[in-house]
Structure 1
Amino acid sequence: MATLAAAPDALLDELQPLSVGEYLTRRLAELSVSCVFGVPGDYSLGLCDMIIHAGIRWVGTCNELNAGYAADAYARLNGLGVCCVTYGVGGFSALNACAGAYAESVPLVVLSGAPSSADYTARPGARALPHHALSRDLFAQRKAYDAVAAASVVLLDADLAATQIDDALRTCLRTSKPVLLELPMDVAQARPTSGAHAGATAHAGLAQRLRDEPASSWNIGAPHNPHACAAAVSRVCGALALAARPALLAGVEVHRRDCGPSVARLARLLRLPVATTRHGKTALEEGGAVCAGVYSGAMSAPAVRAYVEGSDLLLILGAAWTDMDYVTASLPDSATVVTVVDGSVTLRAPAPPRARGGGGGGGGGGAHVEEFGPVGLATLIDGLCLTTLDALSLSAVGGEHAGQQTPPPPPDAAGTGASPIPAVEIKVHAGTSSSKEWEGATRAAAAAATAVRDRPRFGALAYAHGDAGSGASLGESSAASSASSLEQYSLGRSAAGGAAPTSVGGFIAAFGAWVHGQHGGVTVLADAGDSLFAVADMRLRPADLFLAQGWYCSIGYTVPAALGAAHAHAAAAAARARAGGRAPPAGAVRAPRADEHGRRVACLVGDGAFQMTAQELSSAIRDELPITFFVLNNRGYGIERLIHEGPAHNDYNDVHNWSFVALARALGLREGGERGGVAREVGTEAELADALAALDAAPAAGGCNLIEVRLARDDFSDALRRLGQSIKAHNKLA
């Protein structure tokens, strides 16, 4: 169960009875929501007041879609995000942002003000149809959200509202999916007078509920069956014992479930590097000796591709099988593939194994398939670590775990004994289990330990462009790879005298050098297109983070998302400052990082994508946020051109060429002065180098900046070209 922050006593003053809206906003504050993004409307004005009175900052955006995108990025970093909109016109505008959060498993709350509760049940002709409604059916907005939210609730009864609110928030956190809370104006102001939690004095029931049922008592862990987990651990360890060339691949769920440190620990125990999917970039810290780089089929660096596709056992942790990650993947039929994602463990082997474990079998095409579930990702990884650690001698892992105790005994048949895997009352999906299964897991881990002892500390696997046959350690290869790419960029600039036109490859190399030269961490946001695919193989540092809509790919997402990310970092830094530099209590899912101070946000976005959500540049300027927007301008939708070029006389893939620097200035970006930023248009490598240097001079280093990078119309990264060719062939376009 995740650790949640305790509610401040100041929020529980029973002398001041709480309304439903006040209860909701105080619950959000308790869950470490420090910012709410939105656009006010007459149905939500009262909620806006309550948000501010709860100590939460209101961050206004230019439209509701952008509010949803900003709250999405905030949630990815904070563990929970909220956007507040008005009914109908606001809710439907935010619908696409909610859909993206649902597809990418982001815990987002869409809070919608709404007409009076009486309007929902009024007979035709009895009341005037409220504005912003589609028809007399006021439930239309809720019905639209049913497909893109884990829960969509209209709070019509004040006496039931607190329970409904808590249920929805628990669902949001447990599933890491968005929810809709639609709150009629009168219910938001109502103070319950009956029900289980209505107080006996002064209607203090909701304040009492906050005290009696703090969010820290919630069980928001993913559904998990310890019996199925024991069987899965046994089978995975058994497969590891038989594998000659095992490999680890981590996806975005590792980040969503905050499992990065556990995956890194497992990798060290098994002496294996970890590749990540493009979508899961920085799920593990880059720049160290564990993360191998990004795997995306034929678009991968050769060393990473050889590691994954040359394995005879591939353990995939938290990565869904999507075309954006695996469109050109080629896994051998002879390999055993174990996939752990969305609460399920699936083992697919080329032939029936000698030991079947406790899972149900099935499959076809000559393959043997076993499934175990529900199994939480975090608990499965911990189970693998604990059983492997128990089996390994301390010398086999270099003594790094000296002093740690062996795991507790396995659970008994009822799952009630002390166990490294918590027992959960839930229906068994993968058959019954007993302590013998945990004994089997330990025996299988002992067999795997023999293979681990014979394995080199880490394979000679380079990050990105390193030489797989160099014999260098993974960490050394990573550093050499980065230095090599930056050296090549410098040599190219020198040879051309800096007059060479900017290119995608040159920009990525220069941008990488700039990131590595920053004193603090950098959060990189890459929009769908070459911004995403070109930057994926760029090695970041352990302090750096990477955010993208790597699967849903709604272009323009990153501009408002940068706003949300910057506010999340500012709030986390403020929380640590209030705690005297120590880590404050954890938020809804994860505690603030220790390296928030001085962190910058870099947004890489194409010109077509930027035009979708450009208004939020004004919000970043208004809030004086340390965001630098790099607009890659090739005057159109590059990926669409690669898939299918439009007719010459009417190319729908072209967009009108904006003056982005003039736009930034019109929106309030001022160069020079105490709070000035940088607004530059660059067309040569020399101009790009000068602009990057200007970004690090005060006051631009702490402010909002925009760099427009002019590119040739047909300049694309090799990765994007391969993706375009694959999609073109799949879509059967000439």
Structure 2
Amino acid sequence: MASLDIATRELENPIDLAEYLFRRLHEVGIRAVHGVPGDYNLAALDYLPKCGLDWVGNCNELNAGYAADGYARVNGMGALITTFGVGELSALNAIAGAYSEFVPIVHIVGQPTTKSQKDGMLLHHTLGNGDFNVFTKMSEGISCYVAQLNDPHYAATYIDSAIRECWIRSRPVYVTLPTDMIYAKVNGDRLKTPIDLSPPENDPEKEKYVVDVVLKYLQGAKNPVILVDACAIRHRALEEVRDLVEASGLPTFVAPMGKGAVNETHKNFGGVYAGSGSNTGVREVVESSDLILSIGAIKSDFNTAGFTYRIGQLNTIDFHSNFVRVRYSEYPDINMKGVLRKVVQKMGKLNVTPTPQITNKLPAEEQSSSNQAITHSWLWPIVGQWLKENDVVITETGTANFGIWDTRFPANVTAISQVLWGSIGYSMGSCQGAALAAKEQNNRRTILFIGDGSIQLTVQELSTILRNKLSPIVFVICNEGYTIERYIHGWEAPYNDIQPWEFANLPKVFGADAGYKGYRIKTRDELQKLFADQDFCTADALRLVELYMPRDDAPAGLKSTAEAAAARNA
């Protein structure tokens, strides 16, 4: 302690390390921290209020990780606090999903004291073998930066670096905070200088060359199109994408993970391209194009309807956060933001072909149908007619995620789904975090579509929603189990069945007050009436709808993707 005291006296403005960490989180826009209390993080949690941060308090660490993910997708960055070993390991599935899908989360782990670790003490929450680094090693592969705050001389620098890497690379970072380091003194004057979150500038000469190459092919193309995907959102290139769409006039499409990246009311918007699962007329336009400007692509199986893309690299220019690929020539260490901006500035005249018109009009067979069953082909255009500008729309991986492809959004909708990682139950936890961030942004509506099987994994977050006085609208699709898995394998197998729950009554079990309302909707007329109810549409408390759909019905995109998955699995 003597050396620490001497070091402290050398600091002109000493502050506790925990305060420094939390003030930095507040600086980058975080206002709420998710997690579960544990004895190795309790003292750190005491610092949250004085730093302007709210403690959410989730039901378990896995849900907390999902919630931090949803919060980050709406807010820009999220934070999660767990305790050593038992807590952090419970959150790893959620953190892996965030890493997979480029979601920036600062994961802070409360640890035993540095002396206890050095001495290899036989403490609770350990493996009993004196190895205190084993859990850090587990997190290294799903974190873009690891900051072990074991030395006050370097701790502030590590914190700043972790937050910068989290933001720039848009992936989780892992920060350890031993209990004795909570009170360690660091230089508070560092807080006067904000963390530099600007991405590295492209080399001007290299950027100019790449822009000229792009323009050469773009200006010579007969029917170019734009295809936008998730990494355009994650790496904050939406302003450049918007300007490109506006200036070029080119037909513009999104991949499923790119939903919400483009204003879908824009005249250039042509719908979702997902190979054989594409919106009507989209596949023909995209696959016949002689040049596709592919921005932020993640060409996973579920994002391409089972790898059914039919677009060749010879006709593609790929834009990413750290490279640009023009046909078969790759240019590393080039950020798409700078290249896209220059392309817009120097674009010139292009050949522009008509854009397919995508609407929320019902298919012809549904317009004339007297069927009262709520089918997917009827539901998702109707949802599009009901949504409002600025809504946050969350869909679980399953029928909802594939169905939303057929919904044309109003302007400025944020779409959240976990298409690549696809962890069942993700969307319920994510809904809590997203709803909290939406409340911070003047109470944007948060709407969740989740299956009756998926919600059973993470339903406890309805309790956290109530505790934090959030008001999402939750639709539980009741179709008797795991529909997406039935389509992949085991149509009548008991492992795809679930115990039916009375979902609308669950919030009452979790302590919902008189402001809560639950609904049981089984017909189209009932749903239309509900959508016309202003109390339902603008409620300031949780609304939960049991939405009954046929067991065997599914969106076309899910059917084709599941068929491809089944073939690969075999």
TM-score range normalised by the length of the shorter chain: over 0.9
CA distance in 1, matches of 2:374, 2:299: 35
CA distance in 2, matches of 1:490, 1:692: 18
Contact 2:531 2:537 in 1 (8 A): no
Contact 2:324 2:335 in 1 (8 A): no
Aligned to 2:45: 48
Structure 1: gaps of 5 or more residues = 1-13, 193-205, 349-368, 393-448, 464-480, 574-597
Secondary structure, in 3 states, of the residue corresponding to 1:371?
Answer: strand
Task: From the superposition, tell whether residues 513 and 266 of structure 1 become closer, same or farther in structure 2 (CA, over 3 Å).
Answer: closer
Alignment of 1:109-188 (within 5 A): 109-123=106-120, 127=121, 129-135=122-128, 136-188=130-182
Task: From the superposition, tell whether residues 316 and 699 of structure 1 become closer, same or farther in structure 2 (CA, over 3 Å).
Answer: closer
C-alpha deviation, 1:255, in angstroms: 1.1
Secondary structure, in 3 states, of the residue corresponding to 1:232?
Answer: helix
Partner amino acid, structure 2, of 1:180? Y
Aligned to 1:507: 379
C-alpha deviation, 1:110, in angstroms: 0.5
Matching residue within 323, 344, 358 for 2:301: 323
C-alpha deviation, 1:269, in angstroms: 2.4
Secondary structure, in 3 states, of the residue corresponding to 1:302?
Answer: coil
Partner amino acid, structure 2, of 1:214? P
CA distance in 1, matches of 2:512, 2:338: 48
C-alpha deviation, 1:697, in angstroms: 1.2
C-alpha deviation, 1:207, in angstroms: 1.4
Aligned to 2:55: 58
Partner amino acid, structure 1, of 2:345? L
Matching residue within 381, 388, 393 for 1:524: 393
Aligned to 1:207: 188
Aligned to 2:519: 680
Secondary structure, in 3 states, of the residue corresponding to 2:281?
Answer: helix
Task: From the superposition, tell whether residues 699 and 542 of structure 1 become closer, same or farther in structure 2 (CA, over 3 Å).
Answer: closer
Task: From the superposition, tell whether residues 189 and 689 of structure 1 become closer, same or farther in structure 2 (CA, over 3 Å).
Answer: same
TM-score by length of 1: 0.73
Secondary structure, in 3 states, of the residue corresponding to 1:173?
Answer: helix
Partner amino acid, structure 2, of 1:115? P
Matching residue within 296, 319, 341 for 1:382: 341
Tell me the alpha carbon deviations over residues 277-308 of structure 1, each in whole angstroms, 9 at most, x when there is no partner: 10011111211223221110010013221121
Aligned to 2:257: 279
Aligned to 1:540: 409
TM-score by length of 2: 0.93
Task: From the superposition, tell whether residues 488 and 207 of structure 1 become closer, same or farther in structure 2 (CA, over 3 Å).
Answer: farther
Contact 1:299 1:328 in 2 (8 A): no
Task: From the superposition, tell whether residues 523 and 229 of structure 1 become closer, same or farther in structure 2 (CA, over 3 Å).
Answer: same
Contact 2:260 2:412 in 1 (8 A): no
Aligned to 2:357: 462
Aligned to 1:713: 551
Aligned residues with identical type, % of pairs: 32
Secondary structure, in 3 states, of the residue corresponding to 2:432?
Answer: helix
Determine whether 1:95 maps to 2:92.
yes
Contact 2:107 2:172 in 1 (8 A): yes
Aligned to 2:234: 256
Secondary structure, in 3 states, of the residue corresponding to 1:153?
Answer: strand
C-alpha deviation, 1:222, in angstroms: 4.7
Task: From the superposition, tell whether residues 155 and 332 of structure 1 become closer, same or farther in structure 2 (CA, over 3 Å).
Answer: closer
Aligned to 2:5: none
Secondary structure, in 3 states, of the residue corresponding to 2:175?
Answer: strand
Aligned to 1:237: 215
Aligned to 2:317: 338
C-alpha deviation, 1:112, in angstroms: 1.0
CA distance in 2, matches of 1:78, 1:462: 32
Matching residue within 536, 540, 546 for 1:702: 540
Aligned to 2:4: none
Secondary structure, in 3 states, of the residue corresponding to 1:113?
Answer: strand
C-alpha deviation, 1:488, in angstroms: 7.4
Tell me the alpha carbon deviations over residues 23-62 of structure 1, each in whole angstroms, 9 at most, x when there is no partner: 1011111111111111111111111111122111111111
Task: From the superposition, tell whether residues 116 and 541 of structure 1 become closer, same or farther in structure 2 (CA, over 3 Å).
Answer: same
Secondary structure, in 3 states, of the residue corresponding to 1:180?
Answer: strand
* CA RMSD across the alignment: 2.1
| Structure 1 residue ranges, 4+ long, deviating more than 6 angstroms after superposition | none
Tell me the alpha carbon deviations over residues 407-446 of structure 1, each in whole angstroms, 9 at most, x when there is no partner: xxxxxxxxxxxxxxxxxxxxxxxxxxxxxxxxxxxxxxxx
Determine whether 1:692 maps to 2:531.
yes
C-alpha deviation, 1:708, in angstroms: 0.8
Contact 1:485 1:509 in 2 (8 A): yes
Partner amino acid, structure 2, of 1:140? V
Contact 2:41 2:111 in 1 (8 A): yes
Task: From the superposition, tell whether residues 459 and 309 of structure 1 become closer, same or farther in structure 2 (CA, over 3 Å).
Answer: same
Partner amino acid, structure 1, of 2:142? V
Of residues 265-274 and 175-184 in structure 1, the stretch that sits farther from structure 2 once superposed is 265-274
CA distance in 2, matches of 1:529, 1:223: 40
C-alpha deviation, 1:118, in angstroms: 1.0
Task: From the superposition, tell whether residues 230 and 691 of structure 1 become closer, same or farther in structure 2 (CA, over 3 Å).
Answer: same
CA distance in 2, matches of 1:526, 1:222: 34
Secondary structure, in 3 states, of the residue corresponding to 1:329?
Answer: coil
Secondary structure, in 3 states, of the residue corresponding to 2:48?
Answer: helix
Partner amino acid, structure 2, of 1:381? L
CA distance in 2, matches of 1:270, 1:700: 38
Partner amino acid, structure 2, of 1:703? A
Aligned to 2:273: 295
Task: From the superposition, tell whether residues 320 and 333 of structure 1 become closer, same or farther in structure 2 (CA, over 3 Å).
Answer: closer
Matching residue within 470, 475, 490 for 1:630: 475
Aligned to 1:666: 509
Tell me the alpha carbon deviations over residues 261-288 of structure 1, each in whole angstroms, 9 at most, x when there is no partner: 3212212322202111100111112112
Tell me the alpha carbon deviations over residues 584-636 of structure 1, each in whole angstroms, 9 at most, x when there is no partner: xxxxxxxxxxxxxx521100011111111100011112222120110111121
Contact 2:485 2:496 in 1 (8 A): yes
CA distance in 1, matches of 2:512, 2:31: 26
Partner amino acid, structure 2, of 1:268? E
C-alpha deviation, 1:489, in angstroms: 5.8
Secondary structure, in 3 states, of the residue corresponding to 1:275?
Answer: strand
Paired residues in the alignment total 558
Aligned to 1:405: none
Task: From the superposition, tell whether residues 664 and 491 of structure 1 become closer, same or farther in structure 2 (CA, over 3 Å).
Answer: farther
Aligned to 1:373: 332
Task: From the superposition, tell whether residues 219 and 565 of structure 1 become closer, same or farther in structure 2 (CA, over 3 Å).
Answer: closer
Contact 1:314 1:335 in 2 (8 A): no
CA distance in 2, matches of 1:80, 1:148: 16
Aligned to 1:435: none
C-alpha deviation, 1:655, in angstroms: 1.4
Secondary structure, in 3 states, of the residue corresponding to 1:618?
Answer: helix
Contact 1:635 1:654 in 2 (8 A): yes
Matching residue within 99, 103, 108 for 2:105: 108
Partner amino acid, structure 2, of 1:692? F
CA distance in 1, matches of 2:453, 2:13: 51
Contact 2:145 2:174 in 1 (8 A): yes
Tell me the alpha carbon deviations over residues 566-596 of structure 1, each in whole angstroms, 9 at most, x when there is no partner: 11122233xxxxxxxxxxxxxxxxxxxxxxx
C-alpha deviation, 1:334, in angstroms: 8.7
Contact 2:392 2:438 in 1 (8 A): no
Partner amino acid, structure 1, of 2:460? Q
Tell me the alpha carbon deviations over residues 218-241 of structure 1, each in whole angstroms, 9 at most, x when there is no partner: 154057333332222111111113
Aligned to 1:10: none
CA distance in 1, matches of 2:280, 2:325: 27
CA distance in 1, matches of 2:175, 2:385: 44
Tell me the alpha carbon deviations over residues 175-215 of structure 1, each in whole angstroms, 9 at most, x when there is no partner: 111001010000111124xxxxxxxxxxxxx211112x322
Partner amino acid, structure 1, of 2:323? S
Contact 1:119 1:138 in 2 (8 A): no
Aligned to 2:6: none
Contact 2:428 2:461 in 1 (8 A): yes
Contact 2:383 2:407 in 1 (8 A): no
Contact 1:226 1:375 in 2 (8 A): no
